[in-house]
Amino acid sequence: MNNLLKQKPQVINIGIKNFYSDLKNNQARALHVDWRPPLVNDPSLYQKILFNMDKISKANTEVITKILAARPVLVGMDLAINVIPQMEKNLILHAGPPITWERMCGPMKGAVLGALIYEQMAKNIEEAENLILAGKIKFAPCHGYHSVGPMAGIISPSMPVFIIENLEHKNKAFTTMNEGLGKVLRYGAYDSSVIERLNWMKDVLYPVLKDAIQISGGIDLKNIIAQALHMGDEVHNRNRAGTSLFYRQITPHIVKTSKSNQNAIDVLNFINGNDHFFLNLSMAQAKASLDAGRDIRYSSLLTVMARNGTDFGIQLSGTNDKWFVGKALVPDALYFPGFTKADANPDIGDSAITETAGLGGFAMASSPAIVQFVGGKSEDATNFTLKMYEITERENNIYQIPYLNFRGTPTGIDVLKVIEKNILPVINTGVAHKNPGIGQVGAGVLSAPIEPFIKAYKEFIETI
Amino acid sequence: MAHVIKSLIKSGEYFDSITLMVATKKIKELKRVIDAAIVMGTLENRKILKASGLYVEDFSKALDNDLLISIKGENQKISEEAILKLDEILIDLKKRKNTGNEQIFFSMGQAKSEMKDANVALISIAGKYATTESMKALNSGMNVMLFSDNVSIEDELMLKKYADSKNLLVMGPDCGTSIIGGVPLAFSNKVHSGDIGVVGASGTGTQEVTSLITNLGGGISHAIGTGGRDVGKEIGGITFLSALNLLIEDENTKVILLVSKPPHVDVLAKIGKLTLKTNKQVVAVFLGAKSSLVEKYNMIYAKTLEEGAMKALELSLNRVITLDKDQYDAELKNQVKKLNFKQKYLRGLFSGGTFAFETLLVMGQELIQDIHSNLKAETSKLLDDPSLSIKNTIIDLGADEFTQGRPHPMIDYTLRNERILKEAQDPEVACLYVDLVLGFGSNKNPGQEFLPTIKKAKDANKDLLIICTVTGTDGDPQNKKEIIKKLKEMDVIVPLSNAQGAYLCVRILKKLNRGENE
């Protein structure tokens, strides 16, 4: 027998909020759900998911277990051509999903041209452009090469890259060194100052760091991030703590191994002067962890979110290397003085890999210093993180948020939950000027676009 | 008038229809804004925009989750400024939604894990999404009160069978009213606690009987809504029977009052089986049914909602109750005298569908001719175009054709206010009959949003007879006493119940037919 009449009603209200207020006014126990219509409302698809829930859950458990068990460690450095499998001399890797030269946005085109000059394949812009138009240059996403890069994300063959090894599963990930702010290649700048800096990074920064890392025996990135989250970073838009912790760890090794005092000073000053130095490492550790969860049949968890300034793409573990792509959005950001949304390029960079791994926007609650990006109040930041628990598989076992009583960060985005709850992943991001070479014009938070998720959802259901 | 329409699509910005109604209202109040629509991009809403002349071609690509904004201002600048203002309003509404340190829940699962012993899910989202959410609620062991309409009968049957197998109730779909253990759910009134249990297939019907019982000194144990289709052949009374059973077993319930349209014969037989067996007294208001039909099952027959409430109350209090039904006589006579020879018809404009239906029934039984309605009834003709009245017209403004893409007329008075003024200006109209339903869920501010329209109608046509019922109790949030006082100050007749109002209408029409006003 139903015992409804024997108890006081305790109500969960979904829909008209006034009904909830009236319940509260009548001293009833009630909760209100901030419900949104699902992004795809097709009961037959939903039925199919329900019917296959067991095997999907099992696959997702397997994937999240691998991702959480990953032990990403910075183990060394080398030139891209030497160390990235299948890297070629005329191949340029870029951020986001695949894209042709014609469809690339301004900053990415600028970065590609700059990289060709850096590679000494062209003396100037015209030559570089001609090479491309003659079909001499191949383009591919970093993600297809176990790599990630912020903003334009360009990796050319003779750029030095960090090698991050996931000691648990033995897979590797690669990323470039962060150039700092201002006129930099990743924002599409290519003038002589940019090329000179890249050369210095290859000739001075790279050898010094390479030796230091080698003698350090490896730097545990998971450990640094766990601490950085307790120190106010979310390791995407804020990397001040992460950079400081890295600096502390690497300094003695640099001092020990550097053959020139001046070089050691220059290298240490360079790292110290760039609050985002740690960003690339944060991204690559996310990549190394997520790659461990790839290619598990029936898993609806995301292994990639990435943007190329034109398109936004995602990949699911259960659908392997397949990209699901939609138009990249222009962020509603806080703009630096003198710039507006009209100057902004659509969202760009592989850095959304941090959100894919449960950091960045997902860990917003750990980063009160940057809440002005999300409305200015610490509750806003907390609510961002709380919302992300709704679309993720698990709470992280290592990465914790002090403000939420050390709850683990929301990790493992599930496309099924995204669609059902109509909650899109939030991404913390820097904003590039739409013209090459001007650089960063703002920073803020945006939601991923709907389209790639709808495509992925439909295709995923086809595979089950 | 010169005007400029500015439009905008905000992709992926979801707001519920009530929030958007508030926002639209605020924009329309801006100076020199002529019209505005702020709606979600569903097919139905886009149709409405087309009809209202606020549609722009860009909207053709919109998704259900896109917010569509269309503002018609006297010039470009006005429209653009209004759009900017709207941003502020929406942010403000969103903030208000999230104020305090209350945790926000994004899904039923999340809320249920917070309140593990939750036993009712009150669901009022758009019908096409309601089945899935109801299923989730049942799955996690909760009863469902499904306020949403536009749920298919197949889905209703599936949900109810599933609920039945788990000993749970699905109240609805299209269930406006339930009161469980004194807690009012959705459109309900602040009633006294007592020993009368109600099973109601009609929300307004339940509000009427529970309010009347309270106002006359009785009380309610529980009122369980079922949704209007439950007692039909297809659903077979699954919820109605369970609810009746629960009340029979409930020790706080002494008298049971059933409120519904006549159930299908098979359902009635099943109800009868229960009522024959129980020794609790059961009063049945099956609007339109013959007394013999219910009496053979040992139920006490009541013709109208008021009569049902009275009979249940008499059984509960164990004494006879008399109502003064002649109290309006003098007033009525006085007012009818003032009508001119052209004024001969009645226009009934209802927010409560059951009130419209009951009025139709009473008029039919009293042999009033030339009745037109948007409701199907044996005694009236169906209107081709419900927006145009013919002779005596009874309109249910809560019917689907009026509520697509907008809130119920008990919440949003706009449409009915417009109609009241339109009818008031029709020289053939002698009497306007309207209902005002108070209580939780309903519009909280009829003093500002409804009474001024009655005033305008009187101003437009000072001899027009206006009858207005006020359904609710003194405990309701709208201040019933004050509203009735103001209505009476405007010479509006305020009968005790809808049935009395309907009989007053009949008397007016009969007087007019006999030419008593000439």
- Range with the poorest average pLDDT among A131-135, B340-344, B393-397, B458-462: B340-344
Residue A95 is predicted with a pLDDT of 98
pLDDT at B328 exceeding the cut of 70:
yes
Query: pLDDT above 90 covers what percent of chain A?
Result: 84
Q: What are the DSSP calls for A348-403, one per residue?
A: EEGGGHHHHTT-GGGGGGG-GGGGGGGTSSHHHHHHHHHHHHTTEEEEEEEEEEGG
pLDDT at A405 exceeding the cut of 90:
no
B127–chain A nearest CA distance, Å: 11
Distance CA(B247)–CA(B223), nearest Å, equals 9
pLDDT at A177 exceeding the cut of 50:
yes
Residue B101 is predicted with a pLDDT of 57
Contacts of A10 in chain B (CB under 8 A): 115, 117-120
How does pLDDT run across B121-156, given as a tens digit for each residue?
Answer: 999 998 889 998 999 999 999 999 999 988 999 999
Instruction: List Cα–Cα distances, B404 to A90, A389, B17, B53, B126, in angstroms.
Output: 60, 34, 11, 17, 10
- Range with the poorest average pLDDT among A123-127, A164-168, B112-116, B449-453: B112-116
Strands B300-301 and B281-286: parallel
| Confidence grade of residue B435 (pLDDT, cut at 50, 70, 90) | very high
Q: Which residue has 């960060």 as its token pair?
A: A409
pLDDT at A77 exceeding the cut of 70:
yes
pLDDT at B516 exceeding the cut of 60:
no
Task: Please give the residue of chain A at the shortest CA–CA distance from B125.
Answer: A15
Distance CA(B500)–CA(B362), nearest Å, equals 10
Distance CA(A365)–CA(A407), nearest Å, equals 10
pLDDT at B406 exceeding the cut of 80:
no
Comparing C-alpha atoms, which of A428, A378, A8, A13 is closest to residue A238? A428
Residue B118 is predicted with a pLDDT of 97
Least CB–CB distance from A4: residue in B123, B129, B180: B180
User: What's the distance, Cα to Cα, between the start and end of chain B in Å?
Assistant: 44
Least CB–CB distance from B441: residue in A8, A22, A383: A22
What's the complex ipTM? 0.85
Distance CA(A123)–CA(A118), nearest Å, equals 9
Greater confidence (A393 vs A47) lies with: A393
Residue B518 is predicted with a pLDDT of 41
Residue B515 is predicted with a pLDDT of 60
Distance CA(B411)–CA(B449), nearest Å, equals 10
- What string of H, E and C letters represents the secondary structure of B173-188? CCCCEEEECCEEEECE
How does pLDDT run across B51-110, given as a tens digit for each residue?
Answer: 778 898 889 888 887 889 999 999 988 888 888 888 888 877 766 555 455 678 888 988
Count H helices and E strands in chain B, helices first.
Answer: 19, 19
Residue B95 is predicted with a pLDDT of 60
Strand ranges of the sheet holding A147-148, from the earlier edge strand across to the other edge = A147-148, A172-175, A160-166, A72-79, A219-220
Please classify residue B341 by burial: count the beta carbons closer than 10 Å to its beta carbon, then call 0-12 exposed, 13-18 middle and 19+ buried.
Answer: exposed
Cβ-proximal residues to B450 (8 Å cutoff; 6+ apart), any chain: B413, B417, B436, B443
A313: left (phi over 0), alpha (psi -120 to 50) or beta: beta
pLDDT, average across residues A7-33: 93
How does pLDDT run across A427-453, given as a tens digit for each residue?
Answer: 999 999 999 878 888 888 899 999 999
Distance CA(A102)–CA(B305), nearest Å, equals 73
A46–chain B nearest CA distance, Å: 9
pLDDT at B352 exceeding the cut of 50:
yes
Cα dihedral sign, B481-B483-B484-B486:
positive
pLDDT, average across residues B154-162: 96
Distance CA(B179)–CA(B181), nearest Å, equals 6
pLDDT at A423 exceeding the cut of 60:
yes
Instruction: List Cα–Cα distances, B170 to B117, B118, B220, in angstroms.
Output: 18, 15, 21
Residue B160: strand, helix, or coil: helix
- Range with the poorest average pLDDT among A84-88, A116-120, B107-111: B107-111
Contacts of B121 in chain A (CB under 8 A): 11-14
Judge contact between B144 and B120, C-beta under 8 A: yes
Domain annotation for chain B: domains and CATH numbers: 4-97 (3.30.70), 122-174 (3.40.50.720), 192-323 (3.40.50.261), 329-513 (3.40.50.261)
Contacts of B190 in chain A (CB under 8 A): 26
Residue A199: CA count within 13 A, CB half-sphere: 13
Residue A314: strand, helix, or coil: strand
What's chain B's average pLDDT? 91
How does pLDDT run across A205-264, given as a tens digit for each residue?
Answer: 999 999 999 999 999 999 999 999 999 999 999 999 999 999 999 999 999 999 999 999
Q: Which residues 144-163 of chain B have a CB within 8 Å of chain A?
A: 147-148
Would you mind telling me the total number of residues written for chain B in this entry?
A: 518
pLDDT at A378 exceeding the cut of 90:
no
Q: Which helix (H) or strand (E) holds A115?
A: helix A106-118
Residue B326 is predicted with a pLDDT of 77
Contacts of B137 in chain A (CB under 8 A): 12
Q: Which helix (H) or strand (E) holds A140?
A: strand A138-141
Asked whether the beta carbons of residue A4 and residue B131 sit closer than 8 angstroms, the reply is no
Residue A53: strand, helix, or coil: helix
Contacts of B163 in chain A (CB under 8 A): none
- Range with the poorest average pLDDT among A47-56, A108-117, B180-189: A47-56
pLDDT at B517 exceeding the cut of 50:
no
Instruction: List Cα–Cα distances, A348 to A97, A137, A184, A316, A418, in angstroms.
Output: 10, 21, 15, 20, 21
Q: Where are the beta strands (DSSP E) in B56-158?
A: 67-73, 120-123, 143-146
Task: Please give the residue of chain B at the shortest CA–CA distance from A36.
Answer: B14
Q: Which two tokens stand for residue B197?
A: 């249990």
CATH of domain A73-283: 3.90.1710.10
Residue B102 is predicted with a pLDDT of 66
Residue A107 is predicted with a pLDDT of 96
Cβ-proximal residues to A226 (8 Å cutoff; 6+ apart), any chain: A398, A399, A400
Cβ-proximal residues to B471 (8 Å cutoff; 6+ apart), any chain: B189, B204, B207, B208, B211, B352, B355, B435, B436, B437, B438, B439, B498
Residue A98 is predicted with a pLDDT of 98
Distance CA(B444)–CA(B453), nearest Å, equals 16
- Range with the poorest average pLDDT among A42-46, A412-416, B291-295: A42-46
Contacts of B477 in chain A (CB under 8 A): 22, 25
Torsion of CA A282, A174, A171, A408, to 10 degrees: 10
- Within chain A, which residue ranges are assigned CATH 3.90.1700.10? 50-66+294-462
Count H helices and E strands in chain A, helices first.
Answer: 16, 18
Asked whether the beta carbons of residue B184 and residue A26 sit closer than 8 angstroms, the reply is yes
**How far does Cα B498 stand from its chain's mean position?**
13
Asked whether the beta carbons of residue B98 and residue A383 sit closer than 8 angstroms, the reply is yes
Residue B280 burial (CB count, 10 A): 19
| Confidence grade of residue A462 (pLDDT, cut at 50, 70, 90) | very high
B181–chain A nearest CA distance, Å: 6
Residue B100 is predicted with a pLDDT of 52
What's chain A's average pLDDT? 95
Residue A32: strand, helix, or coil: strand
- Within chain A, which residue ranges are assigned CATH 3.90.1710.10? 73-283
Residue B237 is predicted with a pLDDT of 98
Question: What kind of fold does domain A50-66+294-462 have according to CATH?
Answer: v583 fold (3.90.1700)
pLDDT at B295 exceeding the cut of 80:
yes
